[in-house]
Structure 1
C-alpha cells in the first residue's frame, strides 16, 4: 500500500523540515527538482523539497507530453543530447511504464519541406543508432500511398512525397513528475507544495538554507540545509538575483502553446510531426483517446511567469499549421476545446531564434554555494539530477553511486514494461466488478498504474460517501486518493495535474467541478471566503483553457 503523502498534513511536513538540518534542500517541484530529490534520498541524504505552486504546475505539466529522443536536435548537430535522451527514455519507460508508452510518429515528406527523403532516411537511421532504439521500433521509410494509409487526413496532393516512420514515447508529464516525487517521499524525503522560498539563509557568506512561506496559511519556516539546490525552472534567475549571483549566462524564456480538439472534429489516428507552411517550424499532432492535440509554438516570452496564456496569434498559428497539413478538415477557433501554455527556461544564446536555442542544461555554482540548474528537457531529468547529486556527494565524501536508473517509480510496479497490458487488463476486470465501465476502469488503471489497487480499496470502503457530493464512486475514490496520498490541496490540482481533465476532458470538469469543490471544502474546512477563492481560481483556469488572450498585435 502506498505511504501517505497528504494534502491534510502539509504543515506537519513543513515543521519536520525545520527540526533538523537537511543534507539537501531542493527549491522547485517540477521534474528537475523531483529527480534531484529522488537521487539525493536514494543515496541516503536527508532531503527536503518546497514548491511555491503545485507540483509540476509550471513547465512540467505544460510540455508536448513526449519523453522523446529529440530528432530536431540532429539538425542542430547536438548528437550528445540525442544519445542521452534516447538512453533516458528507455529507462523512464521501464521504471514508469504506466505513464510512458511508445508512440509511432509519422514524418510526412513534402516537396520543398524541411526534410528531404535521403536526409530523413539517413537522419532517422542515425537517430535509431544514437538513441539506442530497440530493433522492432527502428525507423521505416514509407512511399506516398503507405503514408496516406497511416494517416488519411494528410494533404493528398503533389506536395506529399512519402514519409518517415519512427518511435517516440508519449507521457503524462505532470503525473510522471508526481510519481518521481512520491517515490522520493516514500524513501524518506519531505516535499511540500504551495510553499515559497522567500529568502535564502546565510552564515559567513554561505547559503545554509531558506526562509519559506506556506502560501495557504502565511506562516514562515526556516529550513536549514548543507546544500541548497535552485531547480525553480523559469524562476531560477529570480533566486540567483536574491543570491546576488545572476552573472554571465541567464535564462531566456520561450513559450509553447498546444490546442486540443475532439476526434469528432479532427479524427486523427496517427501521431504526426510536420512542417508549418510559413516558417518551416515543426509541429506535432498527437491523438489521445477521443481527443487530439496540436503544438507547439516557440516564441520569446516576457510576461507573467506563473500564468502564461495562449494569445489569438498562438491559436491562429496552430490552426493554420494544421489546416495546411490536414486540409480536408479546416478546423476553426470554435473547434478548440482546451489549450495549455508553458515556458521553456532556456539558456540565452545571442543571435539565435527561440527554436534554435540549445536545450542543453547548465549548472551554476555561486560564491555562496547555491547550486542552480537550468535548461534541459523533461527526458533528461534523471541525468541532470545525477550530475547535481554527484557533485554534492563528492563534497560530502558519500561513496554511493546513482541508482535511479534501477528505481521503479510509484505506480510503476506492474512487473515490467512488457507486463503492463496484462496488469491493466486485470485491473480493468477488477474495476468493472466494482461497477465501473470498461472505459472508466481503463482510464483509472492507466492513470495510477499499480496504485490503482489503493483507489479501488477506497471505492470498496468509502464509495457510499460519493453520493453526498454528487460524484460517481470512481471519481470520488480518485479524489480521496489525491487528497490523502498525492497532496492535492486545490480543485485545480486534481482536475489538472492529477487527472489532466482540464486539458483532455472539459465536459468531465464542467460536470463534476461542483462535487469536487464540495468535497474539498468539507475535507479542508474552508471558510466561505476560501471556497469563493478556489471557485474563482478554477473558473479562471477553465476560461483561459478555452479562450485566447487578446493582444495589441491581434487587434
Structure 2
C-alpha cells in the first residue's frame, strides 16, 4: 500500500485499492472520516477512504474554525459532551500545534443578554472543571470598565460586565488533511473525487464492497472491503438510503454562515463571543489581517455541495455587528468573502436548530453498514475511537482477530512532530530564521513554519528548484513551492482545492486568489496534461467559487 499522497499517482492508488480486500472502507473525507481512517490504520486494519468531493470540502472546511470546549452546550445541560470535547481539544492541540492555537476569548455580558454575570461565572467555572482547563487559561470575570479596556469597540450603554476565557482556533480543512496525511503515511489509501454510487452484497445480503465512480475521469470501479463505514456528514441519509430506503431520515440539516471583513473595518483586539439582537451567540474572530463573524443557525433543505448565503443571512450578521460594535459602521458592502457550512444534526422532533444536541450517534444495520452522524469537529478523535472499537469487536467475533486499543491520543498528525505544543513557538522561530537564510521573506518563512509545522522542511527543499517554473508561469517562487507541495504531498486535484482547502486563501485573502488564479490554472494544466476543455472547466469552477465567496451569487 502507498505511503505517498501524490496527485500523479491517483491511478496507482485506485489500482492498489482494487487489488485486495480492505479491512475497512471509510466513505467520507471530512474530519470524522479522516479520524476513523487514522484510528483504524494505526490499529493495523488495512483502511481505504473515498471522498466524492475534495477532502474537507463539506462541513470540515466551513466551520467556525474553533476546536472549542463546548461552553454553549452547558445551556443544554450536556455536561458529558462539555467534558469530552474539553479534554479532546487539549489532545488536538498537543498532536497538531501547527493547525491549532490558543485563542483568548472575551465574553461581554449585556443587559437582557443570554447570560448574566452570576450565570456566566458559574457556567465558566463548571466549564473549566469539566474541560480540565489548565490554570493559565481559566476564566477571569471582568467589570464593565475592565471589559471596555480590553475591547473599546463594545457597546458601552448595555455592557454590564465581561468574562475572559480561552478557546482553540484551527484551520479546519488543514487539520483534516494533516490527519489524512498521517493515515496515509501509516499505510491507508485515500482518494478524493471518487463517489460511492452503490453497495456490493453477498448472498446473505451483507455488504462486501462498493461501486464507485471517479468524478475526474468518469470511470467506475468495484472496491471490496470487509467492513464499510458511512461518515459522509450531511450526506449520511442519502448514502444510507442506498442500503435501506427506510433509514434515510435521521438528520436535521442546519446552515451556518460566516462573513469575512478587512480587520480595519472591524478592528477588534481579540476574539469575542457576543449576543446578537435575538440573544443567539455569535463569534467575531481576528485572523490574518481579517475579522470573520458567524454563525447563523437555520434549517436547510437545499443543494448541499455548494450552499449559498442569502440576503437574510447577510443582514442578520451585519445587524449583529452593528448591535454590539455600533461605532464601526460596518456595511454589507464591506464583506470581502463568506462561507456557508451545513451541520448534520440528529433529528429531534419538536426542537429548533439551536436546541438540537450536537452529540454524535452510531447506527448499525443488518447489512453490516456502520454509520456515524452528528458530532462536533472537536470530538472527531473520540468519535473515530467509538467507531473503530465497534469494528474491533466485529473482527474479534468474525475472524478471531485481536485489534489493539486506540492509539491516536499519542499520534501527532502530519507536521505535528515539533517537540510538543509547548515548544512550538521555539520551533517556529528557528524555522523562520532557516527560511530567511534560504531567501524567503520573514513573512513567508514564519507563515510556512506555522502552517506546515515539521513538514516545512519539505517546502524549504523545493524552494531552490522553483525559479524556472516561476518564469514560465509568472508565479512568485513561494507560491510555486506551496503549489508543488500540495500536488505532490496533499493529493490536490483542482485549482479550487489549492485555493480553498490547502491554503484557505479564497476566504482570507481573496484578492491574492484573483491575482494568481490564471497562473495556477496554467501550472496545473501543464502538470496534469489537461486539454483545453478540461482546463476551461476547472477555471470556470474556480470562477464560480470566487463569485459565491465574494457574495456575487446569493441564494
Structure 1-normalised TM-score?
0.97
Moved more, 457-466 or 165-174: 457-466
Query: For the residues of structure 1 that align with 2:270 and 2:393, how far apart are their CA atoms?
Result: 47
Q: Which residue of 2 aligns with 1:290?
A: 289
- Distance between the aligned counterparts of 1:438 and 1:78, measured in 2? 45
**Contact 2:140–2:165 (CA under 8 A) maintained in structure 1:** yes
Report the Cα distance in structure 2 between the residues aligned to 1:248 and 1:146, rounded to whole angstroms: 51
Per-residue CA deviations over 1:80-107 (Å, capped at 9, x if unaligned) read 1100000100000000000001101111
CA drift of 1:334 comes to 1.1
Is 1:505 aligned to residue 509 of structure 2? yes
**Cα distance in 2 for residues equivalent to 1:85 and 1:466:** 44
Question: SS at the partner of 1:303?
Answer: coil
Does the C-alpha gap of structure 1 residues 162 and 548 become closer, same or farther in structure 2, counting only changes over 3 Å? farther
Partner of 1:26: 26
For 1:455, the equivalent position in structure 2 comes to 459
Which structure 2 residues correspond to residues 74-85 of structure 1 after superposition, within 5 A? 74-85=74-85
Partner of residue 538, structure 2:
534
Aligned position for 2:215:
215
Distance 1:281 1:136 in 2: 28
In the alignment, structure 1 residue 393 sits paired with structure 2 residue 397: no
Match of 1:255 in 2: 255
Computed over aligned residues only, the root mean square deviation of the Cα atoms, in angstroms, reads: 1.2
Q: Mapping of 1:64-463 within 5 angstroms?
A: 64-157=64-157, 159-204=158-203, 205-244=205-244, 246-247=246-247, 250-277=250-277, 279-397=278-396, 398-463=402-467
Residues 273-312 of structure 1: CA distance to partner in whole angstroms, max 9, x if unpaired? 01111x2110000000210100000000000011111111
SS at match of 2:465: helix
- Residues 463 and 413 of structure 1: CA distance in aligned 2, closer, same or farther (over 3 Å): farther
Contact 1:3 / 1:485 at 8 angstroms: preserved in 2?
no
User: Is the CA contact (8 Å cut-off) linking 1:463 and 1:477 kept in structure 2?
Assistant: no
482, 488, 492: which one pairs with 2:492?
488
What is the distance in 2 between the residues matched to 1:432 and 1:399?
Answer: 46
The secondary structure found in structure 2 opposite 1:227 is: strand
Structure 1 residue 202, shift from structure 2 partner: 0.5
| Distance in 1, Cα, partners of 2:450 & 2:348 | 40
Q: Which runs of 4+ in 1 moved over 6 A?
A: none
Distance 1:246 1:432, change over 3 A: farther
In 2: Cα distance, 1:266 partner to 1:276 partner: 16
Q: C-alpha separation between the residues in 1 aligned to 2:457 and 2:246?
A: 47
- TM-fit CA distance, 1:4: 2.6
CA contact (8 A) 2:86 2:132 kept: yes
1:467 offset after TM fit, Å? 2.1
SS of the residue 2:247 aligns to: coil
The Cα of 1:549 is off from its aligned counterpart by 4.5
Q: Report the counterpart of residue 58 of structure 1 in structure 2.
A: 58
Tell me, yes or no, if the aligned pair for 1:339 and 1:545 is still in contact at 8 Å: yes
Per-residue deviation at 1:41?
0.3
TM-score by length of 2: 0.97
Matches of 1:7 and 1:399 in 2, distance apart?
Answer: 32
| Secondary structure at the counterpart of residue 97 of structure 1 | coil
- Distance across 2 between alignment mates of 1:96 and 1:522: 34
Question: Which one of the candidate residues 468, 471, 476 is aligned to 1:472?
Answer: 476
- Tell me by how many angstroms 1:440 deviates: 1.7
* Residues 362 and 373 in structure 1, CA contact (< 8 A), matched pair in contact too: yes
- Cα distance between partner residues in 1 of 2:67 and 2:467: 35
Q: Is the 8 A contact 1:464 1:473 kept in 2?
A: no
Please report how far the alpha carbon of residue 381 of structure 1 lies from its aligned counterpart in structure 2 after TM superposition.
Answer: 0.4
Mind listing any 5+ residue stretches in structure 2 that lack a counterpart? Answer: 397-401
Distance 1:31 1:486, change over 3 A: same
Instruction: Tell me, yes or no, if the aligned pair for 2:254 and 2:345 is still in contact at 8 Å.
Output: yes
Q: Which moved more, 1:441-450 or 1:170-179?
A: 441-450
| Rounded Cα–Cα distance in structure 2 between residues aligned with 1:462 and 1:41 | 35
List per-residue Cα deviations over 1:383-427 (Å, max 9, x = no partner). 000001001111112241000000011011111001111111111
Give the CA deviation at 1:548. 5.7
Q: How many residues align?
A: 548
SS at match of 1:484: helix
Note the alpha carbon deviations across 1:357-391, whole angstroms, 9 max, x for none: 10000111111010011000000000000001001
CA distance in 1, matches of 2:463, 2:473: 14
Q: CA deviation at 1:248?
A: 8.4
Distance 2:520 2:149 in 1: 43
Structure 2 vs 1, CA of residues 336 and 49 (structure 1 numbering), >3 Å: closer, same or farther?
A: same
Q: Quote the offset at 1:3 in angstroms.
A: 5.3
Give the conservation status (yes or no) of the 8 Å contact 2:547–2:553: no
Shift of 1:501: 0.1
**Separation in 2, partners of 1:21, 1:285:** 48
Structure 2 CA distance for aligned equivalents of residues 129 and 420 of structure 1: 26
- Describe the shift of the 1:550–1:395 C-alpha distance in structure 2 as closer, same or farther (beyond 3 A): closer
Contact 1:309–1:548 at 8 Å: present in 2 too? no
Question: Residue 183 and residue 485 in structure 1: after superposition, are their counterparts in 2 closer, same or farther (change >3 A)?
Answer: same
For the residue of structure 1 that corresponds to 2:472, the secondary structure is helix
